[in-house]
Each structure stands twice: as C-alpha cells, then as structure tokens.
Amino acid sequence: MPPAPPDPEPADGNFYTGSPIDRAAQDRTDTDRIARYLADGDTLLIPCWRGRHLIVQADESAARVELPTLRTMRPAPGLPEPEQWVFLGYLEGRPLFALDLGPVEQSEGLFPEARGTFRELRPLAGLLPPGDAAILAQARGMVNWRAQSRFCGVCGAPNQPDQAGHRQVCTADSAHVHFPRTDPVVIMLVRRGARVLLARGTRFGPESRTFSALAGFVEPGETPEEAVAREVWEVWEEAGIRVRAIRYHSAQPWPFPGALMLAFTAETEDETLCLDPGEIAEARWLTRDEVRSPEGFTLPAPTTIARRMIEDWLKEG
C-alpha cells in the first residue's frame, strides 16, 4: 500500500486547481507495480471517451454533478488494452488511472453500475466539486496528449507508451522520446485608472456576447511578461498600446485541450481602440458599475481565470 497522499495545496480561488491526487511520479517506472494495479478490482478508474467524461447527477435538482465512485468498478469486456491506461497517482491511498476509450465506438453500457453518462466537461464544470474538476483536468490533459502523440514527431513511426503512460517512445528509434506537453497562455487584464479593458474575440462567433480579458499563446524564446506586452500591442491594428506595471496574478490549468493559463494585470495610459478585426470583434473600456451590471454583454464563466481576475478587480473598488 502506498503512503497516504499529502494534503492538496489550496486552490487559491481558481477552478481546476487543488487536486487531491498524489501523482507519485516515482512509481511510474515500476512496471510490476503498475501491472498489479491494473489487475486489482479496487483500482480507481477515470474513463474518458472522445472528449467526454463519465458523470452522474448528484441531486434531483441537477444543480450538482460528480464523478461516480469508481472503487470497485470494472469495465465491460472488449475495452482497450493496457496501452490505453494512464497512471494518474493515488487518491485516498488507492491507485487511480485514466482510461482512454477513444477506440470504442459506443460508450453506452461500458460501466452499467455507475448509472452515469459520458458528457462534455465544459458546460458541467461549475457543477462539479473542485477536487473532481481538478482530477478531470489531469485525466483529460493526459488522454488528449496521448491521442495527439501516437506517432513520432521526428520520423513518423508509431509510438509505444512507457512509464505508465507518461512517456511515448518511438518504435523505430528509442532515442526519440516524447513527454506530455502543456501550452502556456498569457491572459491579461489591462487597466487604466478606474476602468478595465474587456473584449469579445472573433473565435467565439458572432452569437457570443461574452467580454473577457485579452489572451494569447507564449511564443518560443519569450517570457510570459514579454508575451503580455506583445499581445496587447498586436491587438491594435494601428495604434499599438504599450503596457507597463505587468504583474503576475495566478495560474490555472485549462484542459481544452491542454493549456496553462498564466494571468497578469497591466496598466496603460492610452485608451485608443483601433482593433485588429481578425482577432477582436469588439472591445470596451468599462467602469466597475458597468461590469457589475453588464448591458449587452456577459462576463466569462465563473470557472475561468478571466472571471477570477475581474472579480478581484471589482473588490478593489
């Protein structure tokens, strides 16, 4: 029996953080131990099927959902081989695995005793207990990475899972080793005096009325702070706005499909809006009263780090 996992760090207010899992990286290379866990009927499972997760309704009002109790659950016959399993660590002292069911055509009937259904995570995330959401963020990220790294990026040969699913090794050249990746994204709340800049991105479609903080990927050879300054500058097609006083706020795993959101605040002296129409459909400088009582727009979901930054800014005044 592995040692009891340490108490999780405080979630610090951001969703998908504060996981109760002891990741136990030292056990990933113990092939005999992993094999015993896979054969043990008391092993915990997190099944994932084509971007969906097994969810059960926790109460009659449907105001809360949760992961099913998977302690003694065994899948129906015909599921993928152990190559599709990823060791996540220990939950309350029990081994926990993510199971990629992508190759299975139908998800119905795979876990009849769970009385749950495979559902999309994003619209249900706010109804999950925080610990469950953090577990799914890890499981989802690992399964997505595995699905995207089935072939070697160097020579194109098939990869073979290794280290309990945390490494992919090329079958043609074992020197080609691939590890899980997380894409860093900066998200910044730009302020000028008592107003804050919120924008509606073009990628959300014309029907969306959500105004959020600006965001963009960190590029190679760039620090997060440099990415903040560049992204704000590039958003404006002609009148590039320069920011100063760039300060780190917090971070959030974002499993859609596998990003790490790095949140910052920044100040500017320029309120000129000359937007790049390829990136931003609409942007506004807003006061706290306008944000507290939005008209013609909505704020980001409570599960997002953008909403957390906005709420923290509102508390300042």
Tens of pLDDT, residues 161-185:
999 999 999 999 999 999 999 999 9
Tens of pLDDT, residues 247-280:
999 999 999 989 999 999 999 988 877 777 888 8
Tens of pLDDT, residues 31-41:
999 988 888 87
| 309: nearest Cα among 200, 211, 202 | 211
Q: What is the pTM of this model?
A: 0.87
Please state, for a pLDDT cut of 90, what percent of the chain lies above it: 54
Domains 25-148 and 183-316 fall in the same CATH topology: yes
Quickly name the fold that domain 25-148 has: Nucleoside Triphosphate Pyrophosphohydrolase (3.90.79)
CATH of 183-316, one of 3.40.50.1820, 3.40.50.720, 3.90.79.10, 3.90.1150.170: 3.90.79.10
Classify 255 as helix, strand or coil. coil
Tens of pLDDT, residues 144-157:
999 899 999 999 99
How large is the average pLDDT for residues 90-103?
89
- Residues 6 or more apart whose CB falls under 8 angstroms from that of 51 comprise 120, 121, 140, 144
pLDDT at 79: 52
Q: 257 preceded by cis ω (within 30°)?
A: yes
How large is the average pLDDT for residues 230-247?
76
- Segment among 53-57, 225-229, 259-263, 291-295 with least mean pLDDT: 53-57
Between 150 and 66, whose confidence is greater?
Answer: 150
| 84: nearest Cα among 44, 32, 38 | 38
Where are the chain's structural domains? Answer: 25-148, 183-316
